[in-house]
Structure 1
Amino acid sequence: MQSNISGDSPSMLITGANGFIGKSLCTELLRQGQFVRAAMRFGNLPIENIESVSIGVIDGETDWTNALLGIKVVVHLAARVHVIKDNAVDPLDELRKVNVDGAWNLALQAAEAGVQRFIFISSIKVNGDGTLLGRPYTADDQPAPVDSYGISKFEAEDALRHLAEQTGMEVVIIRPSLVYGPGVKANFYSMMHWLEKGIPLPLGAIHNKRSFVALDNLVDLIITCIDHPAAANRTFLAADGEDLSTTELLQRMGNALGKPVKLFPMPIWMLKAAAILVGKRDMAQRLCNSLQVDISEARDLLGWQPPVSVDDALKKTATDFLQKL
């Protein structure tokens, strides 16, 4: 959905604009003729006709005054996802500095600057870490985060809702499931690497169901929420609307890569036991367990449908991956 916000100077601020989601969002807004200010810790966004601003460290003391000049909508993507080789006494405290204090500080200054709507990109980890098969998370479920990142995002959501009540600034919360698309890293990239190399995988008999969201679909939902009246002060879960087992995902990703998929069945209990032995318990949980997301809230309130099919999104992701080899 194309936003109708327009003007000769930026009216939208995108934080984390140089990230995986942020760059795609800024590019699509520019394509739609929108004027955008891109905020990042340091440097400039290398996209022509987008105004960039460096804001330094994001925490409870960050000064957003210049970044917020003339802004009516903020899309807050910037976050601390995890701490690599973290030596902090309290890793959750480090996450809170950015994800809770940083978000609240930005939102407070945004409200004082006259921003009308604040869109916060949260995480499905606020709901929890897994679902029973056929019982997806909904936007109305009681949050049950289990890791530090999910807890920090939940605390940020709670703080933003209270701020909305106090100031009248509209807050929209979006919780994406796992996001994939051109440029994806981490486990999704590793999966494509294994498949492209033709590595046999013991994942041929996993009958779970997991929700994913293509980058293009998430960007489309964010843009829909920029000015849709029904989005105000609501929470939406983001997914493609088609859930896949791990086995199905590998098979369809292999098709997208044009590579024969070499899968062999291994009992789930054996797979999990082997993963524990090599210190990969969390990875085994993600591969074997279900995590389903119900997007009916966005469909019913916003009339939103994911515009890109799973197979088309996988193909686009695979093409980008192969071009960069």
Structure 2
Amino acid sequence: MILVTGATGFVGRALIDLLVKRGRSVRAAMRRAGAFTAAGASVVTVGDLSAQTDWSAALAGVDAVVHAAARVHVMQDAAADPLVEFRRVNVQGTLQLARRAAAGGVRRFVFISSVKVNGEATEPGHPFTAGDASAPLDAYGISKMEAEQGLREIAAQTGMEVVIIRPPLVYGPGVKANFRAMMRWLARGVPLPLGAIHNRRSLVALDNLVDLMVTCVDHPAAANQTFMVSDGEDLSTTQLLQRMGRALGRPARLIPVPAILLKVGAALLGKPAIAQRLCGSLQVDISKTRQLLGWSAPLSVDEGLKRAAEGYWREASV
């Protein structure tokens, strides 16, 4: 039996679908009763993720846990102290689950972390690796780093195997936030001043991420390892928009504004982080993932973008 947390989320739903399709026994952990029906999986309600969460019913008979639930990174956080809130859920809640899992004899704990543990940016051609020193810059990244550290300690103390996966931006059917906004602009033919961006960014299609997660549930070589994940092809912002436009059937209308002007403009508007995401590079090296696990991304970038576009048009037609 595999327990999946974050079962109602973007990644959790796709993971459950894949596990069920592959004939695995799955239990989906929900915050609230009736959140949704996980086809082919049993459902258990656990409430909010914290140091007090009672996992006894959820963990009964479980061999492996995939922990995808988290307080996610938000652009405008209303919390008085965001780090306190991120730690409550992402650190204390995660370690409570891991301790209870280890005490209950769970063999393996797969933790979905974030590339933000490594940092926010790379120099082109110098990607982050799983062995790099951690350098998180925001509360979300700090909380994920601290959860990783705590999980490694629990693994050392109890013998439960821990696997950590650090994804970059995940996209696919049902994606929200900035990626969905980008698709909406392209679908509407909005001219964008992003036709001359020469950065390099790693992305991961939802199907590729969940395929690796399932691999890490059982692969012997995954035990107590940290893995980076991506589609295996890095794109500039300009290339991403062009290829996403093709997937949507809408040519990208891009104006070639130099990146330096975009950065200056964003700084004057008090939005330097936006320019960093659009113009800066963030690459990950997945050679360890490939070599140690024999893993390769099932979908190409263009196939992943096509599935994201299909999901966008399905939602737009409702």
Would you say same fold, with TM above 0.5?
yes
SS at match of 2:180: helix
Q: CA deviation at 1:86?
A: 3.8
SS at match of 1:266: coil
Decide which of 39, 56, 60 is 1:48's aligned counterpart.
39
Tell me if the contact between 1:83 and 1:91 (Cα under 8 Å) persists in the aligned partners. Answer: no
Structure 2 residue 23 is the aligned partner of structure 1 residue 24 = no
Letter in 1 for 2:314: Q
Tell me if the contact between 1:137 and 1:294 (Cα under 8 Å) persists in the aligned partners. Answer: yes
Query: What is the rounded CA distance, in whole Å, between the counterparts of 1:280 and 1:79 in structure 2?
Result: 26
Query: What is the rounded CA distance, in whole Å, between the counterparts of 1:154 and 1:244 in structure 2?
Result: 26
Structure 2 residue 273 is the aligned partner of structure 1 residue 282 = yes
Match of 2:194 in 1: 203
Match of 1:78 in 2: 69
| Residue correspondence of structure 1 range 143-154 to structure 2 within 5 A | 143-154=134-145
Structure 2 residue 99 is the aligned partner of structure 1 residue 99 = no
Q: TM-score, normalised by structure 2?
A: 0.97
| Residue correspondence of structure 1 range 290-309 to structure 2 within 5 A | 290-309=281-300
Match of 1:37 in 2: 27
Q: CA deviation at 1:87?
A: 4.4
CA-to-partner distance for each residue in 1:88-117, whole Å, 9 max, x for gaps? 432101100000000000000000000000
Query: What is the rounded CA distance, in whole Å, between the counterparts of 1:134 and 1:140 in structure 2?
Result: 17
Query: What is the rounded CA distance, in whole Å, between the counterparts of 1:229 and 1:82 in structure 2?
Result: 31
Match of 1:5 in 2: none
RMSD: 1.1
Decide which of 217, 232, 239 is 2:208's aligned counterpart.
217
Query: What is the rounded CA distance, in whole Å, between the counterparts of 2:311 and 2:98 in structure 1?
Result: 35
Match of 1:7 in 2: none
* Larger mean Cα displacement after TM superposition, 39-48 or 137-146: 39-48
Aligned in 2, Cα 1:198/1:149: closer, same or farther, shift over 3 Å?
same
Match of 2:231 in 1: 240
Aligned length: 315
Aligned in 2, Cα 1:323/1:86: closer, same or farther, shift over 3 Å?
closer
Tell me if the contact between 1:104 and 1:156 (Cα under 8 Å) persists in the aligned partners. Answer: yes
Letter in 1 for 2:20: L
Match of 2:4 in 1: 14
Gapped regions of structure 2 (runs ≥ 5): none
Tell me if the contact between 1:199 and 1:262 (Cα under 8 Å) persists in the aligned partners. Answer: yes
Query: What is the rounded CA distance, in whole Å, between the counterparts of 2:315 and 2:95 in structure 1?
Result: 38
Match of 2:244 in 1: 253
Tell me if the contact between 1:132 and 1:290 (Cα under 8 Å) persists in the aligned partners. Answer: yes
Letter in 2 for 1:15: T
Aligned in 2, Cα 1:202/1:100: closer, same or farther, shift over 3 Å?
same
SS at match of 2:133: coil
Q: CA deviation at 1:278?
A: 3.0
Q: TM-score, normalised by structure 1?
A: 0.95
CA-to-partner distance for each residue in 1:125-177, whole Å, 9 max, x for gaps? 00000000000000110111011100000000000000000000000000001
Q: CA deviation at 1:272?
A: 1.2
Runs of 4+ in 1 over 4 A off after TM superposition: none
CA-to-partner distance for each residue in 1:259-297, whole Å, 9 max, x for gaps? 111101112121112222333321110000000000011
Gapped regions of structure 1 (runs ≥ 5): 1-10
SS at match of 1:110: helix
